[in-house]
Amino acid sequence: MYDPNHFKHLFTLNSCFYKLYISGHQFRDVEIEAVIKVLSCKTERLGKLTYCCANPNCEHVKYVLTTCKNKMCQSCGQKATERWIAAQSEILPDCKFRHITFTMPDVFWPVFELNRWLLGALFSIAARSLLQQAKNKKLTIGIFSALHTYGRQLNFNCHIHLSLAELALNMHGDLKKFSFKFASLMRQWRYEIIKLLRDNYEQLILPPELVDKCTDIVSWNNFLDVQYNRHWNVNIAKKTSHKKHTSRYFGSYIKKPPIAASKLKEYIDGGVTFTYLDHNSKKYKDLTLSQEDMMLRVLSHVPEKNFKMIRYYGFLSTRKRGELLPLIYKKLGQEKTEPKSFSFAAMMKSFLKVDPFECILCGSRMVFTGFTPGLKIGQLANALKNVTLQRPVSRRY
């Protein structure tokens, strides 16, 4: 049995990733890149920074290994989450937010997994009904939404988490409470998802369970009609009490790996056991998967390159926030502040009460004196075998 909290073991034990790679499994480029970065994080492969003590009588030298900054990395994901939460806490107006979750029938999950180019449309579809209702009332609302691709058992389960500000701006620059029709959200979400799939049938890659069932546009439309007549769950939660609660809730979804290392209970006999909260019983349960299946489930949630997992609308959109947010801050009596720099040193001081730039020998300051560059991602990809088997990687790559 190995350390259950070591996330990298998922890829390296029993040479799991490399064996599957050489067997011909078709990994996406972003999946390979994610594995390479996670396994190279805090190693000299990515480079290192050198710090020397400012005290001329002290010879202490400190090396700081470069991190990978990848979403699939437990360490970097936590840092990115805290930075994002800190930034959003400075940007969002200090009012209540309504959280809404837009889901779809499970038969559509593998369709979106195989056709990831459709995922970007889910954001605007979820927001459109609310934006239209606000427009009819001549109000400008604030929305930010995130794509969540996994369920509690790490299966591919795409849905949208959306947060709506309780207050909106009218044409005169006054703040008004925004109320909306709950029932219309599910109807429009369902209609537009079905339309999206109907209109793009010719370009779709269908999963095996639908290939034989939907052999042409007629059978595909019949299948979609059946799904359209089902009830789709659009869950509207209670309002959050403040903006920090909202940003922290969202941050836990979009910047971290799909599972915390602490939930991986054990690696034994080629299997991985993890803990999840069951929706129905509301109790924690254990699930054991083969190491290969577990690894593939985790990697299926690596987003495509440059895909934005969170998007903003209304007065929170990049185009409007510079003009409208100051008006909202003023109405709320909220001071406008610049987002704070949430650096590595600041995080160490905040969470560990340790100053990483204080010399451990004499107490003086450590000063940056140089940087040793690491290998580029292409070079590491060429050395994939050595990286995934945790062997030394030569500079010749």
Question: Each residue of 383-396: pLDDT tens digit?
Answer: 999 999 988 888 77
What average pLDDT values come out for the chain (397 residues) when binned by 10 residues? 63 93 95 95 94 95 92 85 81 88 96 97 96 95 93 92 93 91 92 97 95 94 96 84 70 78 80 85 88 94 93 93 91 73 68 84 94 93 92 80
Q: What range does the domain containing 28 cover?
A: 9-70+344-388
Angle between helices 217-228 and 182-199 (to 10 degrees): 170
Q: pTM of this prediction?
A: 0.89
pLDDT of 182 reads 87
Q: What's the total number of domains in the chain?
A: 2
> Does any domain span residue 226?
yes
> Does any domain span residue 273?
no
- Residues 236 and 182 sit within 8 Å (Cβ to Cβ): yes
Same domain, 61 and 119: no
Q: Which residues pair with 268 in a beta bridge?
A: 271
pLDDT of 194 reads 98
Q: Which residues pair with 139 in a beta bridge?
A: 170
Query: Tens digit of pLDDT for each residue in 98-151?
Result: 999 999 999 999 999 999 999 999 999 999 999 999 999 999 999 999 999 998
CA dist 387 and 315 (Å) reads 45
Contacts 24+ apart (CB under 8 A), 263-270: 264/4, 264/5, 264/7, 264/10, 265/4, 266/1, 266/4, 267/1, 267/2, 267/4, 267/9, 267/10, 267/13, 267/291, 268/1, 270/14
Same domain, 375 and 241: no
pLDDT of 255 reads 78
pLDDT of 337 reads 64
In sequence order, the 6+-apart residues with CB closer than 8 A to the CB of 90 are: 337, 338, 339, 340
Same domain, 133 and 202: yes
> Does any domain span residue 352?
yes
CA dist 317 and 154 (Å) reads 31
- Residues 214 and 220 sit within 8 Å (Cβ to Cβ): yes
Among the candidates 312, 332, 352, a domain finishes at: 332
Same domain, 163 and 230: yes
| Nearest of 259, 285, 283 to residue 4 by alpha carbon | 259
> Does any domain span residue 193?
yes
pLDDT of 4 reads 39
